[in-house]
Chains A and B, each alone.
Chain A
């Protein structure tokens, strides 16, 4: 304590090595100071009292006291337990009721995050516990994650949109996802910098099929999808490498995933799964952005439904119902032109709208071919599909950008029309996601 008190006195008595600003400025500095002061005075007038100078009376003694007696913000707990209810819904679990909690910070000693609940449909306990530890600054860090438990996951590994599917399924029976159960643990090490990210992961999970238990919805509509693709049962041990790179000096992002499973690591399955996606955010003018995206995926050896690729729904082709086509190969390309000016403002509203609505037009083409996870005949094609397998569309969206949880997230209402050989009626969809939605959100 004496040493700390001494340190406090020493610091309080320590003269500033550098002088206070402009106590004796050179002539040039003085002129520059006056120039900047003129700008500051104008700022003061705009902001008023919040810009007033600080009252420094009594701070020396407060500093000496704080150095001896207190650390930073002693009245704030650094780590606190946060508890929230966990409510969810899907066709196989029915309503899920439980609680979620987290404690700590990944940047500190680590974050512990867990959830536990009952799937009331099959009367099954679900839960997951994860520990995350992050080392290094936010723009260049390493992250370790260990997690385990029992959970219901979607058959489509790339696209889940669980929140929207839960609401659509609960209110109107419009849950188009297919599900499986996973029991086990996974482990991953990630590294992320400003323009790159890499994740090496291993998982050991028992995968099992699920059956539909909730055939009802709040408004009593017929449910859109009455069955659930059965996952192939077995223990999946998989090593995967996921990498993301922003191409230097360009606005282009590239993402690649390679996952392998086989008997050598004790897996019941043997497959190689590869996926490459690229996208760019091209600002054309101050109010117009063009977002081109492309994706290619391939599943080799065991054609498992839970490792297949799915086409349809908001992130892929909006003119098709979500995940309505599947295969062991997938190719997709899409371009979207987004007007980022509020439509209300364009229509002449003088006041700044509290709910800015943006608009976009899009067009895309894609195909899923190879072994059909729905049990149908294989779709023809090798590395590329037969011409007859391509589905194309055009459409338009109204977008609301709430700014949370990510700044580029959109709530999107779209209408899309299929064109070409498979042309037909329009389809309206509601979704929440990023503008560059073919690129999976990287571990952050």
Chain B
């Protein structure tokens, strides 16, 4: 708690310090007891003085966390999260929608549902459970979803890895209080603008565990101008499963430079993650056919 920003920490400390008082108020108050007791002339009850707790509010002037400290904590938290994960399984749904022109409503091109099993150090298996595609599509290749054994979710924390710190500028754009939790919004931008594939973006960091819970990415220029006119928006969401924050959704909308034969002018990509099972002790034999 002492690491939370000064005034907010002070308020939170005051809130937590007032909890016993709140409990006392919730219990029958002595005065409330006294009046009805007197009115019906029942025997006087002993007053329990120990039920009274009065804690004065204290404003704590703790120093605010510096941006560097926050970045260090994010790095440590993401590394800790990764180190505690031994295996995981989940269902991933990849949905591809396209639009003939930029303003047309999107229609489903194809959807694949896969079951993914991953186990450290290097085991991964992807099973195709269902595949749907637009009925008007004949022939053409399918988009294949395959997952590697890495569980560190680089798509979320790529800009916050130790080796990425020299490539990005960071600044705090806001702090939101959600209940008794503080969420930092941190913006990152690549230091060099020469590489258009390096996005800028904003992450939401929950200060309870300093894990990234949401990320929005922006590409100031198209990463592949020859093919893509631009990436309008990309969002990565995480969800909490037990102790761990894991991917929930990855959503992206992009427009093409010219109408693509199968895809049209615009594409929406959605990757959704469900049915997580973490550290469930997946047997090695599950990966016997697909060790990578």
A and B: partners? Answer: yes
Q: Which residues of A contact B213 (CB under 8 A)?
A: 32, 36
- A43 sits at the interface (CB 8 A): yes
The answer to whether A286 touches B130, judged by C-beta atoms less than 8 angstroms apart, is: no
Q: Complex Cα distance A282/B206, Å?
A: 32
Q: Complex Cα distance A50/B276, Å?
A: 21
The answer to whether B127 touches A63, judged by C-beta atoms less than 8 angstroms apart, is: yes
Q: Which residues of A contact B125 (CB under 8 A)?
A: 71-72
Q: Complex Cα distance A47/B253, Å?
A: 8
The answer to whether A18 touches B189, judged by C-beta atoms less than 8 angstroms apart, is: no
A338 to chain B, nearest CB (A): 6
Partner of B258, one of A21, A352, A354, A407: A354
Q: Which residues of B contact A354 (CB under 8 A)?
A: 225, 229, 257-258
Stretch among A53-61, A88-96, A167-175 lining the B interface: A53-61
Name B248-280 residues within 8 Å CB distance of A.
Answer: 248-249, 251, 253, 257-258, 268-270, 272, 274-280
The answer to whether B286 touches A7, judged by C-beta atoms less than 8 angstroms apart, is: yes
A72 to chain B, nearest CB (A): 4
The answer to whether A401 touches B129, judged by C-beta atoms less than 8 angstroms apart, is: no
The answer to whether A16 touches B226, judged by C-beta atoms less than 8 angstroms apart, is: no
Stretch among A22-30, A259-267, A413-421 lining the B interface: A22-30
The answer to whether B289 touches A71, judged by C-beta atoms less than 8 angstroms apart, is: yes
- B103 sits at the interface (CB 8 A): no
What mask results when residues 318 to 356 of chain A are scored 1 for a CB within 8 Å of chain B, else 0? 000000000000000000001010100000000010111
A13 to chain B, nearest CB (A): 12
Given A66-B129, A286-B220, A354-B257: A18 in contact with B276 (beta carbons within 8 A): yes
The answer to whether B130 touches A59, judged by C-beta atoms less than 8 angstroms apart, is: yes
Q: Which residues of A contact B223 (CB under 8 A)?
A: 403, 407
- B208 sits at the interface (CB 8 A): yes
Partner of A50, one of B106, B226, B228, B280: B106
The answer to whether B179 touches A30, judged by C-beta atoms less than 8 angstroms apart, is: yes
What mask results when residues 1 to 28 of chain A are scored 1 for a CB within 8 Å of chain B, else 0? 0010001000100101111111001011
The answer to whether A18 touches B278, judged by C-beta atoms less than 8 angstroms apart, is: yes
A435 to chain B, nearest CB (A): 5
Residue among A25, A30, A31, A400 with the most chain B CB within 10 A? A31
The answer to whether A18 touches B178, judged by C-beta atoms less than 8 angstroms apart, is: no
Partner of B227, one of A33, A49, A342, A403: A403
B267 to chain A, nearest CB (A): 9
Given A35-B178, A43-B235: A404 in contact with B224 (beta carbons within 8 A): yes
A14 to chain B, nearest CB (A): 6
Q: How many residues of B contact A (CB 8 A)?
A: 88
Partner of A51, one of B126, B176, B179, B270: B270
The answer to whether B126 touches A249, judged by C-beta atoms less than 8 angstroms apart, is: no
Partner of B113, one of A14, A59, A340: A59
- A289 sits at the interface (CB 8 A): yes
Q: Which residues of B contact A7 (CB under 8 A)?
A: 283, 285-286
What mask results when residues 197 to 233 of chain B are scored 1 for a CB within 8 Å of chain A, else 0? 1100000101010000110000011111111111001
Q: How many residues of A contact B (CB 8 A)?
A: 77
B283 to chain A, nearest CB (A): 7
What mask results when residues 136 to 180 of chain B are scored 1 for a CB within 8 Å of chain A, else 0? 000000101010001000000000000100110000000010111
Residue among A3, A33, A66, A248 with the most chain B CB within 10 A? A66
Stretch among B32-40, B47-55, B91-99 lining the A interface: B91-99
Q: Complex Cα distance A30/B181, Å?
A: 10
The answer to whether B189 touches A286, judged by C-beta atoms less than 8 angstroms apart, is: yes
The answer to whether B192 touches A66, judged by C-beta atoms less than 8 angstroms apart, is: no
Least CB separation from A22: chain B residue: B240
The answer to whether B280 touches A14, judged by C-beta atoms less than 8 angstroms apart, is: yes
Q: Which residues of A contact B89 (CB under 8 A)?
A: 11
Q: Which residues of A contact B239 (CB under 8 A)?
A: 21
The answer to whether B191 touches A29, judged by C-beta atoms less than 8 angstroms apart, is: no
Given A17-B278, A291-B194, A402-B226: A31 in contact with B179 (beta carbons within 8 A): yes
- A281 sits at the interface (CB 8 A): yes
- A224 sits at the interface (CB 8 A): no
Least CB separation from A38: chain B residue: B178
B241 to chain A, nearest CB (A): 5
Given A56-B275, A72-B114, A402-B225: A289 in contact with B192 (beta carbons within 8 A): yes
Q: Which residues of B contact A51 (CB under 8 A)?
A: 249, 251, 270
The answer to whether B179 touches A36, judged by C-beta atoms less than 8 angstroms apart, is: no
The answer to whether A408 touches B194, judged by C-beta atoms less than 8 angstroms apart, is: yes
- A221 sits at the interface (CB 8 A): no
Q: Which residues of B contact A53 (CB under 8 A)?
A: 272
- A164 sits at the interface (CB 8 A): no
Given A47-B253, A403-B197, A403-B222: A67 in contact with B127 (beta carbons within 8 A): yes
Partner of B214, one of A28, A36, A73: A36
Name A407-444 residues within 8 Å CB distance of B.
Answer: 407-408, 435
The answer to whether A49 touches B106, judged by C-beta atoms less than 8 angstroms apart, is: yes
B282 to chain A, nearest CB (A): 8
Least CB separation from B239: chain A residue: A21
The answer to whether A340 touches B270, judged by C-beta atoms less than 8 angstroms apart, is: no
- B190 sits at the interface (CB 8 A): yes
- A251 sits at the interface (CB 8 A): yes
- A123 sits at the interface (CB 8 A): no
The answer to whether B286 touches A11, judged by C-beta atoms less than 8 angstroms apart, is: yes
Q: Complex Cα distance A400/B227, Å?
A: 13
Q: Which residues of B contact A31 (CB under 8 A)?
A: 178-181
Interface residues of B (CB under 8 A from A): 89, 91, 93, 95, 97, 105-106, 108, 113-115, 125-130, 142, 144, 146, 150, 163, 166-167, 176, 178-181, 183, 189-198, 204, 206, 208, 213-214, 220-230, 233, 235, 237, 239-244, 248-249, 251, 253, 257-258, 268-270, 272, 274-280, 282-283, 285-286, 289-290
Q: A35-B178, A50-B268, A404-B226 are in contact. List 5 more A-B contacts (CB 8 A).
A: A11-B286, A35-B183, A47-B235, A51-B249, A283-B194
10 inter-chain pairs at a CB distance below 8 angstroms, sorted by A residue, are A16-B280, A19-B242, A31-B181, A32-B178, A39-B237, A51-B251, A59-B113, A59-B115, A75-B142, A340-B193
Give me the 4 closest cross-chain CB pairs, A-B, nearest first: A31-B179, A18-B242, A403-B224, A35-B178
Interface residues of A (CB under 8 A from B): 3, 7, 11, 14, 16-22, 25, 27-36, 39-40, 43, 46-51, 53-54, 56, 58-59, 62-63, 66-67, 70-76, 137, 194-195, 248-251, 281-283, 286-289, 291, 338, 340, 342, 352, 354-356, 400-404, 407-408, 435
